[in-house]
Amino acid sequence: MAARGLRFLVLILSVASICDAATFNPISDSHRSAALELFTPTDGSLKSLEETFEALRTFEVLGIDKKSKIKGYTCRTVVDTLWSPSSALKDLFQALRVNGVLKCELNDEVFAGIASRLKDNVKDANSLLDLHYSIGSLKLIKSQTAEVDVHLEDADGIFRAIKALSQSDGRWRFSSNNPESSTYAAGIALETLAGVVALASHDIDQSLMDTLKQDILKLFDGIERYDDGSCYFDEKLVDAQGNWGPVSASSSIVRGLTSFATSTPESLNLPGDRILCLAKFFLGIGVPGNFKDLYHQIDALASLENNRISIPLILSLPSSVLSVTRKDQLKVRVNTVLGSAVPPLSVKLMQIFTSGSKDASIIDQELKFDPETKLHVLDALPENVDVGKYIFTFEILLHDPEHKKIYATGGRTKVPVYVTGVVNIDQAEIAILDSDLGNVETKKRLDLTGENTIALSANHLQKLRLTFQLTTPFGRAFKPHQAFLRLRHENGVEHIFLVRSSGKNFEITLDFLGLVEKFFYLSGRYDIQLTVGDSVMENSFLQPLGYLDLDLPDAPEKAARPPPQPVDSSSKYGPRAEITHIFRSPDKRPPTELSFAFLGLVLLPLGGFLIGLLLLRVNLRNFPSSTLPAFFAISFHIGIAAVLSLYVVFWLKLDLFTTLKALGILGISLIFTGHRTLSYLASTSAKLKSA
């Protein structure tokens, strides 16, 4: 029926995605942990000033204090970069960004020299990036010192030069020589134009500002949308500049847009839902796996957290899984994208959709606000909410009408909610039926919440029937995601059958006469197992029911044979049984007294030898008396004694190879000392004879 060898477990199913609803949560500790892992300094610094700023900006937004650990080395690099007349524009820009965070010790002379150079570069710049680095650096100098003049005299001309690179769809080109337009470049252009407005010595021509606002609206016309309410800017340009994805492109637009809105008191007339859907996109990507995307995500959210266009408010649920058995309360939290507090507001539960259905229940009930937990709480779920998957529709209502101009709520917010509970299992029976009339020959009741050890027997002319009922805690019919009956033969062949339902009743009947070929004519014992599971069913189970002794006819000559069963890897590669060796019992030892007596007899010749030396009055007059020859003679005799001792130790415990190694070392020493000793004696004897 299903793939052979499949092992069915009760699956507490992963939360299935619902197209038109999703849960968006503000920045959490997971982002802080990812930042600490991805931005890891090596020897007190990061790879480049650009990466250093991205790390510092990310840490600053997330509230992580890492400045002291990288300030020393990084500030030296910043000072060297700013003092060097050969530093590239990009390096100057990144050094000034880092200095804006670390506050390195720099005097106004450095800033004045850089500002003069940057103003000249603005006049000669022929690409968007050169203008971006030059104007961005001047803006950074303005924020770091008030003693240096960074104003742009021909601000209108610079504005027109940047605007000339714009396209009809709101995107920008990187240079006049490059016909390809880029969404990422549009964000850089907006940020650069914001710098021009901030550095201008006079007001920018209003017609230029109006034209730019139209370009911004055109840019948002090409925004991409997801069904969950999030939106993003895509990037299709792939060239020498790099390959920017939706995260970096969208972050660039947000950074440029908020910078431009801050630099001008005029309204951009952008709907708040456009800003909210961008915030949902950055929150919906979770925790990025690389430091670039993490920086773009955090920087964009920080820009959205406090901007002049519209501050997005995020509605989230601490838990989207509620249990009717435990009588869980529905709790809703409203925060900004970084989790900050929000102005006074109310949250209403407006509608409840059943998953997969367009029909909705109208609720229109306001949740109670708990000032201690800052949560909006619904004490009890509506009566029509039973075990299942739902989409709850909420609406945020701001108390102060003026706040509607500042905050974006996005109208109604849809959130997936999973209501779980303990499902009632009743009237479970298993029976053996007569194939002809369907009469019950054997019937046994089952306890599907406990243990079952039934024993049944049947032949190919009979049927097996299994029935049970499933109802929710409120008595309604419940249809689980899984309901399977499995029969497993004693040789490993198994068969899985789907248990179908009709309302509350579940029933499956197996006619063995029609299944003999599927069963490969295998008679014998079949273990019976029932699987019922669902993601909202708290008491999902995989229940062994017992076994069935099935008698089938002999297989015809051309009948299909059972497939070979996979070899259990644990039995093939697992540990083998321990091998116990039986050694020969040691021989019986002689009495201790006899052993000592034998030792005495062995040592007796040695004692006789020593006594003989004394009686014979051995002549030691030829033993060297000089220091060096005496040393060699003594070493030679000690070596002889060491060899004899080695033989004794070998007899007691050493093996042959260890003994040979030691003997080789001692032998070399004996040859050397013995040769020197004998040479001395020979020379002494020769001198005596010649005398």
Number of residues that this document lists for the chain = 691
Residue 631 forms part of a structural domain: yes
Q: How far is CA 496 from CA 422, 530, 532, in A?
A: 25, 10, 13
Residues 546 and 433 in one domain: yes
Q: Using one digit for the tens of pLDDT, what is the confidence trace for 67-99?
A: 888 888 889 999 999 998 889 999 999 999 999
If pLDDT is split at 50, 70 and 90, which confidence band does 21 have? low
Residue 259 forms part of a structural domain: no
Tokens 């013995």, located at residue:
674
Tokens of 180: 């390809």
Q: Could you give the CA distance from residue 183 to residue 234 in angstroms, rounded to a whole number?
A: 7
Q: How far is CA 460 from CA 509, 514, 555, 678, in A?
A: 13, 8, 12, 104
pLDDT score for 620: 67
Q: Could you give the CA distance from residue 457 to residue 525 in angstroms, rounded to a whole number?
A: 9
* Type of residue numbered 589: R
Going across the sheet that includes 412-420, the strands are 321-323, 412-420, 388-398, 345-354, 360-366
Residues 551 and 428 in one domain: yes
Residues 527 and 635 in one domain: no
The domain boundary residue, chosen from 399, 420, 441: 420
Total number of domains in the chain: 3
Residue 596 forms part of a structural domain: no
Q: Using one digit for the tens of pLDDT, what is the confidence trace for 368-414?
A: 999 999 999 998 899 889 999 999 999 999 999 999 999 999 889 99
pLDDT score for 355: 78
Beta bridge partners of 454: 546
- What is the Cβ-side half-sphere exposure of residue 526, based on CA atoms within 13 angstroms? 26
pLDDT score for 357: 76
Q: What region, left, alpha or beta, does residue 326 occupy, with left being phi > 0 and alpha being psi -120 to 50 degrees?
A: alpha
0.85 exceeded by the pTM?
no
Mean pLDDT of the chain: 88
Q: Which residues constitute the domain of residue 552? A: 424-556
Contact criterion met (CB below 8 Å) for 484 and 542: no
If pLDDT is split at 50, 70 and 90, which confidence band does 607 have? confident
Residue 248's nearest CA partner among 230, 236, 260, 262 is: 236
Q: Residue ranges of the alpha helices (H) in 285-327?
A: 291-305
If pLDDT is split at 50, 70 and 90, which confidence band does 1 have? very low
Q: Using one digit for the tens of pLDDT, what is the confidence trace for 527-584?
A: 999 999 999 999 999 999 999 999 999 998 888 888 887 776 666 677 777 888 887 7
pLDDT score for 691: 61
Residues 451 and 548 in one domain: yes
CATH of the domain at 469: 2.60.40
Residues 402 and 430 in one domain: no
* Type of residue numbered 257: L
Residues 413 and 536 in one domain: no
Residue 307 forms part of a structural domain: no
Compute the radius of gyration of the chain from its Cα atoms: 44
- How many other C-beta atoms can be found within 10 angstroms of the C-beta atom of residue 54? 24
Residue 636's nearest CA partner among 681, 682, 684, 677 is: 677
Q: Could you give the CA distance from residue 481 to residue 539 in angstroms, rounded to a whole number?
A: 13
- How many other C-beta atoms can be found within 10 angstroms of the C-beta atom of residue 575? 6
Residues 452 and 470 in one domain: yes
For 315, counting Cβ atoms within 10 Å of its Cβ (0-12 exposed, 13-18 middle, 19+ buried), the class is buried
CA 655 to chain centre: 55
Q: Using one digit for the tens of pLDDT, what is the confidence trace for 161-190?
A: 999 999 999 999 999 888 888 999 999 999
Task: List Cβ neighbours of 543 (8 Å cut-off, separation of 6 or more).
Answer: 448, 452, 529, 530, 531, 532
| DSSP class per residue in 182-241 | EHHHHHHHHHHHHHHHHHBSSPPPHHHHHHHHHHHHHHHHT-EE-TTS-EE-----EETT
Residue 650's nearest CA partner among 666, 626, 638, 634 is: 666
Tokens of 278: 């961008």
Q: Using the 8-state DSSP alphabet, how is residue 485 labeled? A: E
- What is the Cβ-side half-sphere exposure of residue 131, based on CA atoms within 13 angstroms? 30
If pLDDT is split at 50, 70 and 90, which confidence band does 238 have? low
DSSP-derived pairing of the beta strands 407-408 and 311-312 = parallel
Residues 433 and 499 in one domain: yes
Q: Could you give the CA distance from residue 332 to residue 239 in angstroms, rounded to a whole number?
A: 46
- What is the Cβ-side half-sphere exposure of residue 585, based on CA atoms within 13 angstroms? 2
Contact criterion met (CB below 8 Å) for 294 and 35: yes
In this structure, of 40-54, 139-153, 527-541, the range with the lowest mean pLDDT score is 40-54
Residue 10 forms part of a structural domain: no
Q: Could you give the CA distance from residue 284 to residue 179 in angstroms, rounded to a whole number?
A: 33
Residue 500 forms part of a structural domain: yes
Residue 70's nearest CA partner among 93, 38, 47 is: 47
Residues 325 and 378 in one domain: yes
Residues 519 and 429 in one domain: yes
Residues 433 and 535 in one domain: yes
Q: Could you give the CA distance from residue 131 to residue 163 in angstroms, rounded to a whole number?
A: 12
Q: Could you give the CA distance from residue 96 to residue 102 in angstroms, rounded to a whole number?
A: 10
Residue 338's nearest CA partner among 289, 300, 291 is: 300
Q: Could you give the CA distance from residue 403 to residue 312 in angstroms, rounded to a whole number?
A: 12
Q: Is the pLDDT of residue 7 over 80?
A: no
Q: Could you give the CA distance from residue 632 to residue 673 in angstroms, rounded to a whole number?
A: 5
Mean pLDDT over 645-665 rounds to 89
Residue 632 forms part of a structural domain: yes
Q: Could you give the CA distance from residue 344 to residue 474 in angstroms, rounded to a whole number?
A: 37
Q: Is the pLDDT of residue 461 over 80?
A: yes
Q: Is the pLDDT of residue 127 over 80?
A: yes
The domain boundary residue, chosen from 556, 591, 607: 556
Residue 280 φ then ψ, to 5°: -65, -35
* Helices 246-263, 291-305: crossing angle, 10 deg rounding: 30
Q: Using one digit for the tens of pLDDT, what is the confidence trace for 184-226?
A: 999 999 999 999 999 998 889 899 999 999 999 999 999 999 9
Residue 403 φ then ψ, to 5°: -70, -20
CA 54 to chain centre: 21
Residues 318 and 407 in one domain: yes
Residue 153 φ then ψ, to 5°: -75, -45
Contact criterion met (CB below 8 Å) for 5 and 566: yes
Q: Is the pLDDT of residue 158 over 90?
A: yes
Q: What region, left, alpha or beta, does residue 91 occupy, with left being phi > 0 and alpha being psi -120 to 50 degrees?
A: alpha
Q: Using one digit for the tens of pLDDT, what is the confidence trace for 413-437?
A: 999 999 999 999 999 999 999 877 7
Q: Using one digit for the tens of pLDDT, what is the confidence trace for 246-288?
A: 999 999 999 999 999 998 888 888 888 999 999 999 999 999 9
Residue 252 forms part of a structural domain: no
The domain boundary residue, chosen from 400, 420, 440: 420
